[in-house]
């Protein structure tokens, strides 16, 4: 990747420039779609299909031509029409045989077909869909004045016939998506263009990419004409751009150098960043089989693996935290107090759908589980805090035992000291591990009721139990053997005990897990991952800043490389959403610059691929984390990113 200096400058002529976006609140202050859509009782669709068509209409005279082409889609699909024609538009229910749901959304003629698309994305209307077809009433009469091959009508016909044309053609395209999780975009032959077609759009694209803390790539591949079949996540992820009407120029017949033209190119860039490929129609195999049937409404979805995020329970007050930090302290106390330390820094991180929740409220767990299940998440691994026989923050997991929520769970013994510096080290200890007073063998006695629950997660029939700092426990093999005996005696069956892959200074282990009585290791980045420094100048850090800035993308690239080389059968990869503990250490945090849903998708996909050859039950990938808000490792919906990280999980897990 190469840094484009214009992305880091101040104001430019483009309304989408980074400085202006920051001044407008970095996408936090606006919904990014027309407020009137909130009053539509038919939206979102109650029973969505798995495939959608987003159809932008400006030239009404082309409407029937494209509707006729949509009859080639062989599976049930939802049709979302954005109407910028200025004329009321209705599509009769029987007009399209396979259409399951149809809606028409009136939009201003602003931002070509791109701003209406971004509005649909920002409203969450594309969230349910695995595959999307994007089309619009394209004339492109300007081609005649630019010595381009074919008239606008001929170009449109070629695009539509290549992407639609016949049920057999569409079936082949959908089957290719079904058989190739890495397939991102399919466009018409002759429409996949490269860097020679940057035009005057590179600086605006660079400024837009900075919103994702990404640099402009050396290479460029994008689908010209803005019509294509696309994996739903690529468009869903645009929610992370924080786009609004203020980013787009007034319509004046421009054919280059607008925000819409930049985003046309950016979509190809972020698809590639997500680890997905862009191909022309003729590059697809004609023997892809009948995988297209998997996109039929009501067809079953088989997950590619079990994705298990770590779950922090520190979202309710306890007497100990009241004493150490002040009455009413929870994780939110620090989260809400954080402030930005570099230009465009996403602080404070604010919750969206779930708000500043309290885990004493039973409906919170129900809503968390609903979000997780919708994303294809298999269950949560709860951090469990046990200090020489004393449990802290145990209420959320114990409430699960008496509740009827079906989402599975398992435990990680977070056996580190609690310190005033939030670093788990040996100084300023608030409460620590005292193995000499109460042996670690006692731990299992207190968690047996949890292990006995029928929802407790298992691997090869054995209850999954992780240890954060395995090397800290004296005589670990003997302790684990005692745990196994106790679990058998209590009727919990066998255990599958994993050590977390942390550095030696965090009491990680060297050598094989079996030597220490463990059954495996699980990855927990940023531990034992690549740390590559990012200069303060590059991100325009505040002068008072004294922390460390590392590269998220560099870490992900290195992790993807190592995962591609293969991992041992007893190693279960971990992937990091992000890391930024500014909320806990305002002036000297550790920040991984560059976390975004597309790079995360690529890293997660590599982890899933690394375990895909195993027996089904052993295909497990861990994620840091579900709700580590004060460390910036959050899958839950945020004001800044919406559900985009969850949608990345959904796409990878369900593939």
Contact present, 494 and 481 (Cβ < 8 Å) = no
Model pLDDT, residue 256? 87
pLDDT confidence of residue 507? 65
User: For residue 12, what pLDDT is reported?
Assistant: 60
574: in domain: no
* Domain match, 397 and 254 both: no
| Tens of pLDDT, residues 440-486 | 999 999 999 999 999 999 999 999 999 999 999 999 999 999 999 99
pLDDT at 565: 97
pLDDT at position 422 = 64
- Using the 3D structure, point to which of 295, 324, 354 is the last residue of a domain: 295
Assess whether pLDDT exceeds 60 at residue 8: no
The residue with tokens 């310190």 is: 419
Q: How far apart are alpha carbons 444 and 430 in whole angstroms?
A: 23
Mean predicted confidence (pLDDT) in 538-558: 96
Q: Is the pLDDT of residue 1 over 90?
A: no
**Residue 453 in domain:** yes
Span 97-124, average pLDDT = 96
Mapped onto helix, strand or coil, the DSSP state of residue 499 is strand
- Cα–Cα distance measured from residue 528 to residue 554, given in angstroms and rounded to the nearest whole number: 14
User: How does DSSP classify residue 145?
Assistant: G
Contact between 232 and 651 (Cβ < 8 Å) = yes
Residue 338 forms part of a structural domain: no
For residue 171, pLDDT over 70 is answered with yes
Instruction: Report yes or no on 351 lying in a domain.
Output: no
C-beta neighbour count of 90 within 10 angstroms: 10
Cβ atoms of 138 and 225 closer than 8 Å: yes
Greater confidence (154 vs 8) lies with 154
Residues 159 and 227: beta-carbon distance below 8 Å:
yes
Q: Is the pLDDT reported for residue 2 higher than 90? A: no
Determine the Cα angle at 503 with ends 499 and 509, to 5°.
Answer: 45
Contacts of 434 (CB under 8 A, 6+ apart): 387, 388
Listed residues 238, 271, 295: the one ending a domain:
295
Among candidate residues 43, 47, 20, the one with its CA nearest the CA of residue 33:
43
Domain co-membership, 284 together with 409: no
**326-359 per-position pLDDT tens digit:** 999 999 999 999 999 999 999 999 999 999 999 9
Q: In whole angstroms, what separates CA 339 from the centre of its chain?
A: 24
pLDDT surpassing 50 at residue 223: yes
CA 45 to centroid of chain Cα atoms: 22
Segment 313-324, tens digit of pLDDT: 999 999 999 999
| Any domain includes 584 | no
Position 92 confidence tier, pLDDT thresholds 50, 70, 90: confident
Tell whether 393 and 273 lie within a shared domain: no
177 and 74 inside one domain: yes
| Together in a domain, 241 and 386 | no
Average pLDDT in the 607-611 region? Answer: 98
Q: Percent helix, strand, coil in the chain (nearest 5)? A: 35, 20, 45
Residues 281 and 168 in one domain: yes
pLDDT > 90: percent of the chain: 86
Closest CA to 185 of 208, 163, 161, 202: 163
Residue labelled with tokens 């329970």: 313
pLDDT at 5: 38
Quick one: which of 89, 85, 91 has its CA closest to 71? 91
Q: Does a structural domain hold residue 212?
A: yes
With contact defined as beta carbons under 8 Å apart, do 269 and 209 qualify?
Answer: yes
Helix (H, G, I), strand (E, B) or coil at 537: helix
Shared domain for 392 and 495, answered yes or no, is yes
- Round to whole Å and give the CA distance between 476 and 485: 14
The boundaries of the domain holding residue 484 are 379-521
Cα–Cα distances in Å, from 92 out to 133, 395, 458, 472?
20, 54, 51, 68
pLDDT at residue 506 tops 70:
no
* Residues 68 and 166 grouped into a single domain: yes
Question: Does residue 127 fall inside a structural domain?
Answer: yes
In a domain, 113, yes or no: yes
Checking if the pLDDT of 122 tops 50, the result is: yes
Contact 10, 19 (CB under 8 A): yes
pLDDT, tens only, 243-298: 999 999 998 888 888 999 999 999 999 999 999 999 999 999 876 689 999 999 99
d(CA 444, CA 438): 12
Asked if residue 200 has pLDDT above 70, the reply is yes
68: domain CATH number is: 3.90.550
Say yes or no: 105 and 203 in one domain.
Answer: yes
As a residue count, the chain comes to 655
User: Which pLDDT band, with edges at 50, 70 and 90, does 30 fall under?
Assistant: confident
* Same domain, yes or no: 289 and 418: no
Please report the pLDDT score of residue 423 as a whole number.
62
Judgement on whether residues 84 and 189 belong to the same structural domain of the protein: yes
Query: Which domain-ending residue is among 521, 546, 576?
Result: 521
pLDDT score at 425? 58
472/435 Cα distance (integer angstroms): 9
Mean pLDDT of 137-163: 74
Report the number of distinct structural domains present in the chain. Answer: 2
Q: What is the pLDDT of residue 141?
A: 55
- 382 forms beta bridges with 311, 411
More confident residue, 147 or 447: 447
Q: Averaged over 180-204, what is the pLDDT?
A: 95
Selection from 592, 455, 467 nearest residue 522 by Cα: 467
Q: Do 10 and 156 share a domain, yes or no?
A: yes
Please compute, for residue 117, the number of CA atoms within 13 A of its CA located in the half-sphere on the CB side: 27
Task: Give the pLDDT band of residue 11 (cuts 50, 70, 90).
Answer: very low
How many Cβ atoms from other residues are within 10 Å of residue 194's Cβ? 11
What does the pLDDT average to over 555-579? 97
């Amino acid at each position: 990747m190469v840094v484009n200096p214009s992305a880091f400058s101040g104001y430019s002529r483009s309304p989408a420039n980074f400085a202006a976006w920051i001044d407008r609140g970095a996408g936090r202050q606006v919904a990014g779609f027309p407020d009137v859509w909130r009053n539509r009782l038919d939206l979102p669709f109650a029973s969505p299909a798995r495939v959608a068509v987003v159809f932008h209409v400006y030239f009404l005279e082309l409407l029937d031509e494209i509707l006729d082409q949509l009859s080639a889609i062989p599976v049930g699909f939802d049709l979302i029409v954005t109407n910028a024609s200025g004329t009321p538009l209705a599509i009769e229910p029987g007009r399209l045989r396979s259409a399951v749901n149809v809606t028409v959304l009136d939009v201003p003629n602003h931002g070509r077909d791109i701003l209406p698309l971004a509005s649909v994305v920002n409203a969450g209307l594309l969230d349910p869909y695995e595959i999307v077809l994007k089309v619009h009433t394209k004339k492109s009469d300007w081609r005649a004045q630019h010595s381009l091959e074919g008239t606008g009508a001929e170009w449109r016909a070629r695009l539509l016939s290549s992407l639609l044309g016949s049920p057999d053609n569409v079936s082949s395209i959908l089957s290719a998506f079904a058989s190739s999780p890495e397939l991102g975009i399919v466009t018409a032959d002759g429409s996949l263009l490269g860097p020679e077609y940057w035009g005057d759009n590179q600086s605006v694209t660079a400024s837009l990419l900075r919103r994702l803390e990404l640099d402009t790539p050396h290479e460029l591949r994008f689908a010209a004409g803005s019509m294509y079949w696309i994996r739903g996540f690529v468009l869903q992820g645009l929610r992370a751009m924080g786009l609004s009407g203020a980013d787009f120029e007034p319509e004046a017949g421009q054919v280059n150098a607008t925000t819409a033209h930049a985003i046309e190119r950016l979509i190809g860039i972020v698809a590639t960043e997500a680890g997905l490929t862009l191909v022309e129609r003729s590059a697809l195999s004609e023997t892809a089989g009948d995988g297209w049937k998997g996109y039929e409404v009501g067809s079953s979805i088989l997950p590619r693996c079990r994705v298990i995020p770590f779950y922090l329970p520190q979202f309710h007050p306890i007497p100990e935290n009241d004493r150490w930090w002040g009455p009413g302290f929870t994780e939110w106390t620090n989260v809400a107090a954080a402030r930005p330390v570099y230009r465009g820094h996403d602080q404070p991180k604010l919750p969206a759908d779930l708000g500043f929740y309290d885990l004493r409220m039973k409906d919170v767990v129900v809503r968390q589980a609903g979000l997780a299940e919708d994303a294809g998440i298999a269950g949560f691994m709860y951090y469990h805090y046990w200090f020489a026989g004393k449990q802290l923050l145990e209420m959320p997991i114990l409430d699960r035992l008496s509740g009827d929520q079906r989402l599975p769970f398992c435990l990680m013994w977070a056996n580190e000291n609690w310190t005033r510096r939030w670093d788990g080290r040996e100084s300023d200890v608030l409460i620590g591990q005292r193995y000499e007073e109460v042996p670690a063998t006692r731990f299992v006695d207190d968690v047996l009721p949890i292990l006995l629950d029928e929802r407790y997660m298992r691997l090869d029939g054995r209850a999954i139990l992780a240890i954060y700092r395995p090397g800290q426990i004296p005589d670990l093999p003997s302790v684990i053997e005692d745990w196994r005996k106790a679990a058998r005696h209590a009727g919990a069956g066998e255990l599958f005990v994993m050590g977390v892959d942390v550095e030696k200074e965090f009491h990680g282990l060297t050598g094989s897990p079996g030597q220490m009585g463990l059954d495996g290791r699980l990855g927990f980045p940023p531990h034992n991952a690549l740390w590559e420094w990012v200069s303060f100048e590059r991100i325009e850090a505040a002068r008072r800043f004294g922390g460390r800035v590392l590269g998220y993308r560099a870490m992900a690239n290195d992790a993807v490389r190592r995962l591609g080389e293969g991992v041992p059968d007893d190693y279960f990869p971990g992937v990091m959403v992000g890391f930024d503990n500014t909320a806990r250490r305002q002036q000297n945090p550790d920040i991984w610059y560059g976390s975004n849903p597309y790079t995360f998708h690529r890293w997660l996909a590599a982890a899933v691929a690394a375990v895909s050859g195993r027996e089904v039950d052993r295909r497990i990938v861990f994620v840091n984390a579900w709700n580590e808000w004060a460390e910036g490792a959050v899958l839950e919906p945020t004001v800044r990113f919406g559900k985009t990280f969850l949608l990345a999980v959904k796409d990878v897990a369900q593939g």
